[in-house]
A and B are shown apart, each in its own frame.
Chain A
Amino acid sequence: MKKVTFSIIVIALCSMAFKFDGGFIFDGGKIPVVTIKNLDGSKVSTSTFTNNGKPIIISFWATWCKPCKKELDNILDDYADWQKETGVKIIAVSIDDARTMPKVITDAKTKGWPYEVYIDDNQDFKRAMNVNAVPHTFIIDGKGEIVWSHNSYAEGDEIYLYENIKHLIKGEKLEH
């Protein structure tokens, strides 16, 4: 009996997921105001995240997270073009704690990431943004509203990410 109940739950949950086909409506509100750290150890408020009315991508990552680093590396190949075309800015927020925190700066520099990198070692920002697991990527529009979010990274995801940035600039509906 329990096997049957369990199977029903599995099927119900899976079918629920596919129902999101119409587009999972993400009405995110503004970025929550939380204090995080700069790479030099000084404090920064997330209220200072601005990009002169242009979109921002916030990517939660960690030095031990392979897909996170893959995503940020793959974006690096096209980042100069993205910036030229849309003015988008990437903010990479690391959730590393004391164990791996020194690696945030060494990894980011070695890789030559031109992104703004911050450390959320107490995970206040992660909690405020309701991030369950990294990588988790958000798009923030020019008014500071969270308009899109995506969990996990697969090769090529950055293509969809950038298409949505272009939609946002043109005032079109975002794809999910």
Chain B
Amino acid sequence: MKKLLFCLGLLVSTFSYSQIKDIVESIHGNFQIDAQYYNKDTSIGAPIVPQKVLSNGFGNINYIRGGFSAGIRYESYNPVMQGFDPRYQGSGIPYKYARYKNKKLDITAGNFYDQFGSGMILRVYEERGLLYDNTMDGFRAIYNPIRGITLKGMIGHQRTFFSLSPGVVRAGDIDISLNELLDSLWANKKTKITIGGSFVSKYQSSQSPTLNEPENVGCGGGRVTVSRGNFNIYAEYANKINDPAYVNKYSYKNGQGAYLTTSYAVNGFSAMLAGKYVDNMGFRSDRDQTLNAAMINYMPALTKYHTYLMATFYPYATQPNGEMAAQGEVQYKFKRGSKIGGKYGMEVAANASMAYGIDSVNIAPQNDDRQYHYKVRSFKPGEKYFHDFNIEINKKFSKKIKGTFLYSNQYYNKNIIVENSSVKEFANIKTNIFVVDVTYKYKPTSSIRFEGETMQTKQDKGAWLVGMVEWWPQSNFFLAVLDQWNYGNADQSKRFHYYLVNIGFIRDAVRITLSYGKQRQGIFCVGGVCRTVPASDGVSLTVSTSF
């Protein structure tokens, strides 16, 4: 509370200076409140919520004056809504900072977000809607000694809910744009090259009476971006020293990761190919943490980011303990007036992704079951984790009608991805998904959208059918009705309908949505960790605004 008063006092006192006109000064912020009233509905497996109402809320306030900025974020969970990490409890100000920036130097005291390269060795970020936040609380300096070179240094503790992770993180990064640095020689070169290198170290004292845990763990990496005309290449490699932790079953093996992505893109056509190798690269500032708390690095899944309900039913997340993955995508736009493109053109995107484990073997002494010691036998793919082969077509039929059509064939190793277990408890899930999404614009600012989806599968809960109608009578108001029907469930008594009615109102930056109905149980992946979120039944409200 004292902290809040102090921050508010700071903001108010700065108003008195706002008379000076030549310096840019402003106060900005945003707010969002989500609340849900839970009905008792044990038939669909919804847990009983004794409080009946649960809510998540936050508010950001940022003050900017020239190169100086300061801000806070207040968060409140009373208690946190179903489906999120229950360790979010109560209220507080977990984010507060003061920052000064000029052309050469940028210093932050307090909380900050940052990433090195793709984030494979460090990414401090937030996904507010998903309640993922591993912000660093400490100091950061960014310095540009000469044109083309950026140096970064930081030290701090990561946020874990309303407290801080016990391990301290120290990190440094250098980023060099060769074209800017070698101005006279390279300024006009067609090829643009950026290189970078970083080192991250964490310290956490060892408490284990039996294990010899390294207290300082270092991780280093390098990266390069090359772009020439329509070609782009990005490559990154990282290596981490032994870091026995709960999530890697106390393995002492060094970790390594490599990521490569290439693309070619011209007007109307593009191709992209990416590959990734990960071996024991989980990296946290608290070796005992689980789920997605205290993560230092970020290793995103190399799969298509679907948005349709059935296509995201079985989502994949990178397996930091070992994974080989690849993704390719080709997109083509048939021109307007061409034979296939028709009057308005047509876009086609074909995408394929797959992920396997690494080919490893356990070498732990037989009498020691506390640890998983393993070695990599070969560079061949191991157990299959996931695949997704899909094709998506976008076509505008007339001024009023346009549609999206998606087919996706997926393979899902639930034991590994959700249960994080090599025990074969569940059958691997094979699905075929079809989506039709048509928008009919009956007036210039009024439209109605129909969505039909089905997922065909013999495993898990069986087949589903989804229907949705979204009506926008005017552009600031919508009404949507959705039904997800588990018609193919092998257990006839579980062939539920999950219906949901949604209304929303939008005005400038204000958005209010109210929904009533049932949410099915689902798998939710945040920060590279997938878990099951329970079903629910009730009324929920979201109010969001920014200023």
Check if A155 sits within 8 Å of B507, measured CB to CB. no
Expressed in whole angstroms, the minimum distance between the Cβ of B21 and any Cβ of chain A is: 12
Expressed in whole angstroms, the minimum distance between the Cβ of A90 and any Cβ of chain B is: 17
Residues of A with Cβ closer than 8 Å to B? Answer: 2-3, 6, 9-10, 13-14, 17-18, 20, 24, 26, 28-30, 32-33, 39-43, 63-66, 97-103, 105-112, 121-124, 127-133, 136, 148-152, 154-157, 159-160, 176
Q: When the two chains form the complex, which single residue of A2, A20, A106 contacts B272, counting CB atoms closer than 8 Å?
A: A106
CB within 8 Å: A-B pair count? 221
B residues within 8 A CB of A41?
192, 194, 225, 227, 232, 234
Contact flag A109-B113 (CB < 8 Å), given A29-B64, A102-B272: no
Q: When the two chains form the complex, which single residue of B230, B232, B547 contacts A130, counting CB atoms closer than 8 Å?
A: B547
Question: Could you jot down 18 A-B contacts, CB within 8 Å?
Answer: A14-B512, A24-B510, A29-B28, A39-B232, A41-B227, A64-B306, A97-B119, A102-B232, A102-B274, A103-B272, A105-B263, A106-B272, A127-B113, A133-B544, A149-B509, A154-B478, A157-B445, A157-B475
Q: When the two chains form the complex, which single residue of A32, A97, A109 contacts B125, counting CB atoms closer than 8 Å?
A: A97
Expressed in whole angstroms, the minimum distance between the Cβ of A154 and any Cβ of chain B is: 4
Bound CA–CA A98/B276 (angstroms): 12
Q: Looking at the complex, which of B164-172, B244-252, B329-337, B491-499 is the stretch in contact with chain A? A: B329-337
Check if A99 sits within 8 Å of B347, measured CB to CB. no
Check if B347 sits within 8 Å of A110, measured CB to CB. yes
B residues within 8 A CB of A39?
227, 232
B residues within 8 A CB of A156?
441, 443-447, 475
B506 contacts A by Cβ under 8 Å: yes
Interface residue tally for chain B (C-beta within 8 Å)? 93
Check if A132 sits within 8 Å of B272, measured CB to CB. no
Contact flag A26-B508 (CB < 8 Å), given A2-B52, A42-B192, A130-B60: yes
Bound CA–CA A106/B306 (angstroms): 17
B254 contacts A by Cβ under 8 Å: no
Check if A109 sits within 8 Å of B265, measured CB to CB. yes
A residues within 8 A CB of B194?
41-42
Check if B506 sits within 8 Å of A152, measured CB to CB. yes
Bound CA–CA A18/B505 (angstroms): 9
User: C-beta contact mask, B59-90 vs A, less than 8 Å → 1, else 0?
Assistant: 01010100101000000000000000000000
Check if B30 sits within 8 Å of A130, measured CB to CB. yes
Q: Looking at the complex, which of B288-296, B297-305, B377-385, B411-419 is the stretch in contact with chain A? A: B297-305
- Sample of 9 more A-B contacts, CB < 8 Å, known A29-B64, A41-B192, A151-B506: A10-B541, A13-B543, A39-B227, A42-B180, A102-B232, A109-B268, A110-B270, A151-B508, A155-B475
Q: When the two chains form the complex, which single residue of B265, B305, B509, B510 contacts A105, counting CB atoms closer than 8 Å?
A: B265
B residues within 8 A CB of A3?
37, 52
Bound CA–CA A3/B300 (angstroms): 41
Bound CA–CA A43/B272 (angstroms): 23
B450 contacts A by Cβ under 8 Å: no
Check if A112 sits within 8 Å of B115, measured CB to CB. no
B residues within 8 A CB of A111?
333, 347
Q: When the two chains form the complex, which single residue of A17, A28, A132 contacts B32, counting CB atoms closer than 8 Å?
A: A132
B204 contacts A by Cβ under 8 Å: no
B residues within 8 A CB of A2?
51-53
Expressed in whole angstroms, the minimum distance between the Cβ of B539 and any Cβ of chain A is: 8
- Pairs A-B, 6 closest by C-beta atoms: A29-B26, A156-B445, A99-B300, A106-B270, A109-B265, A98-B118
Residues from 254 to 284 in B contacting A, C-beta threshold 8 Å: 261, 263, 265-272, 274
Expressed in whole angstroms, the minimum distance between the Cβ of A140 and any Cβ of chain B is: 13
Check if B512 sits within 8 Å of A17, measured CB to CB. yes
